[in-house]
Amino acid sequence: MAKAPPIKHQCRECEAICQGWYGKCPSCHAWGTIEEVAATPDAKPGRITLSKSGSGAGGPTPLSLADQLAPVARVECGIHEVDRVLGGGLVGGSVILVGGPPGIGKSTLMLQVSARLARNVGTVLYASGEESIGQISSRARRLGTEPERLLVLADTHVEGIVRAAEKIGDALACVVVDSIQTVYSVAHDGLPGNASQIRAVSAQLIGFAKSNNIPVILVGHVTKDGQLAGPKLLEHMVDVVLSFEGDEERATRLLRATKNRFGSTMELGVFEMTGTGLSEVSNPSEAFLAERPEGSPGSCVTASLEGTRPLLLEVQALLAKSCGGSPRRTCVGVDSTRLAMLMAVLDRHGEVFALDQDVFVNVAGGMRLFEPAADLAVLLAVASSHLRKPLARDCVVIGEVGLTGEIRQATRLEPIGEGRARG
């Protein structure tokens, strides 16, 4: 009698192999994702088949020659805030995942990037499973850009998208897929957006990018808790993960790299959503401080280094009489544990007795300040609000505050070269 293939347990999110069935994956901690799969000897995940030379396709390469054999070629799209976050432009054959909440402006940004690439570099294929060609074209008109080399495709089959991209041939500069959750592969079961479809679609698009040396941009949705929807594995598969953030009440949009195989993850791109698309904010400090009230207590300016660019940011604090119970500490853009520590330091070493007050701290413009060098600005904003004394308008403070009340010098205070100091 033929022996039944052995059964193993595997997480469908992260593909980790488990000893048995678990409700929660021991590797990625997702619930209800462990399922039984037949273990076939030649389909073992994680097993790498080595070529005869003992390495990948080309055999081992001296590291000192690697740059000459496979140089990293970049194309700038011409939108400087995007190019800077990418580390200097799009790398040929790279796969970039752009995530963000619905309505934040992902499709708008990608259409603007596509239009610039089409104008400056070559043909761009913009495949959308979310919007009709009519909708995309009316958005392009609103953005004031309809270059000839921008081709739109309303197709939800990954096979059709890859075929259309291959047909363009050498003229192709970039492929954009909006969104990865709406596209599916006919060769796989399941509805678009489920983990195995996302994995299959991404694998085909990554394969296309690598074998044709064409950058591919995938737009992805995020879940309610801000995580990219779909298997966690997707973030490991792509080269760059960008997050597009902002809130509905404000026009400011921030682009950050949370993973970048070809550059830093510290750079920040700043945009403003206008009636005619996203416009670059080349001097964010000016924009963030534009509405700073004059002579008001509770406001302090600090400088924060976002990648290579120093930004001036305003920390605001408001202290108010607490109405019984334990006083509230509400922080937006600042760490609440750090605030509690600074309140204790002020009480013990600064003779500002405000531990019984409700404290609200906010970084203006929706920015975040989690570096210790922002301590002094938070502390002074709190003290200024409590004592009702405004700080000098042209005062900028940077410094970490220690538990004994000492102020420590911030790191990375060295002078920045002319080109880097802009903004």
Using rule CB under 6 A, residue 275 touches ligand TYD = yes
Q: Which range touches ligand TYD (CB under 6 A), out of 6-14, 96-104, 348-356, 403-411? A: 96-104
**311 and 304 Cβ atoms separated by less than 8 Å:** yes
Residue choice 87, 89, 100, 246 for contact with ligand TYD (CB under 6 A)? 100
Residue choice 26, 45, 56, 102 for contact with ligand TYD (CB under 6 A)? 102
- Out of ligand TYD, Mg ion, none, what residue 45 binds, judged by CB under 5 to 8 A for its kind, is none
Using rule CB under 5 A, residue 107 touches Mg ion = yes
Q: Write down the least CB distance from residue 208 to ligand TYD, Å.
A: 23
Using rule CB under 6 A, residue 254 touches ligand TYD = no
Among residues 240, 249, 247, 204, the alpha carbon closest in space to that of 219 is found at: 240
Q: Write down the least CB distance from residue 14 to Mg ion, Å.
A: 27
Q: What SS3 state is found at 264?
A: coil
Q: Which range touches ligand TYD (CB under 6 A), out of 83-91, 116-124, 269-277, 291-299? A: 269-277
Among residues 367, 359, 303, 305, the alpha carbon closest in space to that of 327 is found at: 359
**130 and 252 Cβ atoms separated by less than 8 Å:** no
And the tokens for 215? 């950058």
Among residues 240, 243, 242, the alpha carbon closest in space to that of 226 is found at: 243
Phi, psi of 90, deg, nearest 5: -85, 135
Q: Which range touches Mg ion (CB under 5 A), out of 100-108, 259-267, 335-343, 347-355? A: 100-108
**142 and 108 Cβ atoms separated by less than 8 Å:** no
What number of chain residues touch ligand TYD (CB under 6 A)?
Answer: 14
- Residue 28, CB-side half-sphere exposure with 13 Å CA sphere: 20
- Out of ligand TYD, Mg ion, none, what residue 276 binds, judged by CB under 5 to 8 A for its kind, is ligand TYD
- Out of Mg ion, ligand TYD, none, what residue 104 binds, judged by CB under 5 to 8 A for its kind, is ligand TYD
Q: Which is nearer to Mg ion, 99 or 365 (CB)?
A: 99
Residue nearest to Mg ion (CB): 107
Amino acid found at 144: G
Site for ligand TYD, residues 103 to 122, rule: CB under 6 A: 103-108
- Angstrom CA distances, 161 to 38, 167, 219, 331, stand at 32, 10, 14, 45
Among residues 104, 179, 114, the alpha carbon closest in space to that of 143 is found at: 114
Among residues 289, 262, 254, the alpha carbon closest in space to that of 104 is found at: 254
Using rule CB under 6 A, residue 226 touches ligand TYD = no
- Out of Mg ion, ligand TYD, none, what residue 105 binds, judged by CB under 5 to 8 A for its kind, is ligand TYD
Using rule CB under 6 A, residue 405 touches ligand TYD = no
Q: Which range touches ligand TYD (CB under 6 A), out of 166-174, 272-280, 290-298, 318-326? A: 272-280
Using rule CB under 6 A, residue 161 touches ligand TYD = no
Q: Which is nearer to Mg ion, 107 or 384 (CB)?
A: 107
Distance (Å, whole) CA 175 – CA 85: 19
Q: Which is nearer to ligand TYD, 142 or 163 (CB)?
A: 142
What number of chain residues touch Mg ion (CB under 5 A)?
Answer: 1
Instruction: Output b/e per residue, 369-396; b: 16+ Cβ within 10 A.
Output: bebbbbbbbbbbbbbbbbeeebbeeeee
Residues that bind ligand TYD (CB under 6 A): 100, 102-108, 139, 142, 273, 275-277
Residues that bind Mg ion (CB under 5 A): 107
